[in-house]
Structure 1
Amino acid sequence: MTGPWHRDTLSIDQQLALTTAATNLAREFDDTFGRETIERFLHSSYGEFAGRAVVLNFLPLLAERFARQRLRALARVEGDGDDGRPVALFLCTHNAGRSQMALGFFTHLTGDRAIGWSGGSSPAHTVNPAAVAAMAEVGIDISSEFPKPWTDEIVRAADAVITMGCGDACPIFPGRRYEDWDIADPDGLDLDAVRPIRDAIEQRVRQLVDELLPAPV
């Protein structure tokens, strides 16, 4: 967690938004998890963003989205949410460039046939604008994504864990398929320099999709 926070420090609007988020998650997961677990995941997810958020009004929404992903991952780990679709997790240092572009390609290519997640060992404040622009050039919108950390349940729920530059910080759990992609970091680069990185990621992702979702014979 980035830093301590307390519900009393939130504005009335933020408190109401967080309460609404808890209600939304409880409605979605009430057959799987108790309210205490749901709120714990929501509040810890909020804490992950509280110390580095650029726009505070978006915090409850980000927390809800991240808590939903974590709860879905935990359900898979516990055998309650595995629908047979493969899960790919893309990890890099800041979850702002490489892993976000890889997730964008993976989601675009697989649709609802697979599940894609991403994370970073030291998440940035925002997604790299050059990465957003490079992906927009190929018709994929990643502008609504946000840098986030990985958590144990997310890694344990993944079938394939793809790492890109996070080194020793990348998590290792037995039984997962791991690949390390040697791809340059687009941080600080302009759009012209990011394009070949984007294209290299696309090539790798297409190969991964072919392996996870082989064409029927």
Structure 2
Amino acid sequence: MSDTKPTVLFVCVHNAGRSQMAAGWLRHLAGDRVEVGSAGSAPGDKINPSAVEAMREVGIDITGQTPQKLEWETAQSSDVIITMGCGDACPVFPGKRYEDWKLDDPAGKGVEAVRPIRDEIKTRIETLLADLLPA
């Protein structure tokens, strides 16, 4: 890690659910201490409404986010790349820290099914933050 703040990129296929919730949690919990990005290998046209609702329930607004296409430069400039079910579609760059989070895909699910995914993401974000920003 450099002396500047760490950059974390969350990547899933559609950039509409898991990666958006993870980015929302990290922005919420880290404030401006971490640069946060998210992208998809095949981005959807809008964020999953159940993901938006599940995050709203915990006071985090992700309605302003838009699914983004994963760009080589974005991945190249990130310190930590966290993939969520995009498999071989996610590029691998030497020297980057990678984590692959096995999470259920919230696509097509109601908010009841998305809540446990949201909560698991929060737990993982808290662990990541403790590692990135030791007290």
User: Normalising TM by the smaller chain, what interval?
Assistant: over 0.9
Q: Provide the C-alpha distance between the structure 2 equivalents of 1:145 and 1:199, rounded to a whole number of angstroms.
A: 20
Deviations 1:75-96 (Å, cap 9, x if unpaired)? xxxxxxx870000000001000
Task: Confirm whether residue 190 of structure 1 aligns to residue 110 of structure 2.
Answer: yes
Deviations 1:146-187 (Å, cap 9, x if unpaired)? 001111111011110000000100110000000000000000
Paired residue for 2:94? 174
CA RMSD of aligned residues (A): 1.0
SS in structure 1 of the partner of residue 105 of structure 2? coil
User: When the two structures are superposed, what TM-score results if normalisation uses the length of structure 2?
Assistant: 0.97
Report the residue type matching 2:106 in the other structure. Answer: P
Q: Unmatched 5+ residue regions in structure 1?
A: 1-81
How far off is 1:125 after superposition?
0.4
Q: Unmatched 5+ residue regions in structure 2?
A: none
Q: Provide the C-alpha distance between the structure 2 equivalents of 1:205 and 1:183, rounded to a whole number of angstroms.
A: 13
Deviations 1:6-46 (Å, cap 9, x if unpaired)? xxxxxxxxxxxxxxxxxxxxxxxxxxxxxxxxxxxxxxxxx
Paired residue for 2:124? 204
Task: Confirm whether residue 121 of structure 1 aligns to residue 41 of structure 2.
Answer: yes
Report the residue type matching 1:161 in the other structure. Answer: I
Deviations 1:44-90 (Å, cap 9, x if unpaired)? xxxxxxxxxxxxxxxxxxxxxxxxxxxxxxxxxxxxxx870000000
Q: Which has the higher helix share?
A: 1
Report the residue type matching 1:122 in the other structure. Answer: A
User: When the two structures are superposed, what TM-score results if normalisation uses the length of structure 1?
Assistant: 0.61
Paired residue for 2:8? 88
Which structure has the higher relative contact order (CA within 8 Å, separation 6+)? 2
1:132 to 23, 48, 52: 52
Task: Confirm whether residue 143 of structure 1 aligns to residue 63 of structure 2.
Answer: yes
Consecutive aligned runs of 4 or more in structure 1 exceeding 6 Å deviation: none
Q: Provide the C-alpha distance between the structure 2 equivalents of 1:83 and 1:136, rounded to a whole number of angstroms.
A: 34
- Number of residue pairs matched? 134
Q: Provide the C-alpha distance between the structure 1 equivalents of 2:76 and 2:9, rounded to a whole number of angstroms.
A: 10
Q: Provide the C-alpha distance between the structure 1 equivalents of 2:48 and 2:91, rounded to a whole number of angstroms.
A: 23
Report the residue type matching 2:64 in the other structure. Answer: S
Task: Confirm whether residue 164 of structure 1 aligns to residue 92 of structure 2.
Answer: no
SS in structure 1 of the partner of residue 30 of structure 2? helix
